[in-house]
Structure 1
Amino acid sequence: MLNVIKKQFKLRKEEIVLAGIIECVTFILGMIILALLVRFDDTTDTVFELGSIFAFSSTLFTIFIMIFATFGVSFNNAICMGRTRKSFVSSYTVVTLCVTCAIIVIAFLFSIIEKSLYTFLYPNHIFGYVAVNHITPMIIVAVILIEVIVPIFIGTILAKYGMKAFWILWAIWMFGCVVLPKMVGTMINNGYEHDDSVLGEIERKLVSIFGSISIAGWYAIGGAILLLMLVTTINLTRKQGVKI
């Protein structure tokens, strides 16, 4: 198994190198943007680890996209080369886990560097360190699980069902990113609390239901969804044919 994982690291070497480059470049870019804000915006009196946040989010997002976009091709190539489905999926998952953890560790080290630099460069500013003050171990675990399980699940769905799955996933993405925020904004602006219509009643019920769920409850729901995705991925890859 260890040899299989080593081979998977070699096969994904370019992806890993690209992740490192993106993380370093976006880290520097974030610090430059913050420096410009401090220099030209007199109202800015707070500094925070913008470079680390840029590095963390942009690198994870890029790897996320790359995984689900290339998983099907990697799967087909591996099976054609004589790999078993189980060994490929397990080694691919382990490598993705290692890369994700490395990205997070590097971003954390970057935040320490930023803190030291900003203490020296901006002694008269207020320090609002997001990574140190707000990112808990539970959030880190959640990010790791999402980054590992979700893109592989999407890649498996795309490899299995092709463009039909792509357009369905795209529609879900657009609904969540564009339509849903507008619906929520409209609901808040129109004062759903005082709306006596059927729609207003439905909105109040939904707000009541979702608002009553604790943070632990949301973690449990998210964990159940991720587990379902993982099980689905395993079952689909067992039956997935090779497309040449």
Structure 2
Amino acid sequence: EATMPAEGGKTDMERIGLFSEMEYITVGDKYVSRFDRPFNEAASKNKQMLPGGSKEMSDLQAGYFDPHFVRIFEGEGYVNMNQVRRQHMMQEAKKNLGKAFLPSSGDKKPYANITIGKQFSHSADFYDAPKENYKKENEEHHRLLKGTPFKLNLYPREYFDPNPYFTENPLPPIKKIEKKEPTGQHFKPSSPGKKAGGMKAGTFEPYPAHSADPYVVKLENQIVGKAVKIFHPPGGPKSRPVESIMTLNVR
């Protein structure tokens, strides 16, 4: 006879396991919804300790790390970097075992001819001596050269056309242009001719006299006669009155 299972237990048929096969998904645990689970179950069991009163905000100095209140302005740094550097320098200075090392002021330049021994001789050393020596050696080297370097016709050439202005032959000496000194005075043209008196307008002869030519009215007999035909262009087509189309159609 099967009995009813106790609270949270299994039935007799579930314990025997006859006519049943083990499930592949679960081991037989019952599904418990997450909504039915109690929240903070330990808070509702056994004895509980409830502190008295509610907490209030406090601005006492006990809630800060500094022993005294430090001012805080907007945009002000929390740490003074100059003070931190000075403190670091003071701590590093305590590690020194003695005084700071001060180098000597350098070699002293003695006065001449006041020592017991003989004064050392001084040899002159020109500033541009290496440059002058190289220049002399280079000139002597070019003086001993004879012609251009020997090259066969099969020596490698450049891919592009050679520079037509490049030559390996020694350049001729530069010709100095001799400046000829002027032998005489510069040519100065004469002044232009002056206009002679009497208003000749620059001519050799006197200005020709003006002949009086009074205005004379032409006479009638000098007018061309009627025998001479005067050209008259032919007349064009004459216009004639035309009656309006509106007058013909509208009565």
What TM-score does the superposition give when structure 1 sets the normalisation length? 0.13
Tell me which of the two structures has the higher relative contact order, counting C-alpha pairs closer than 8 angstroms and 6 or more residues apart.
1
* Higher CA-based Rg: 2
Q: TM-score, normalised by structure 2?
A: 0.13
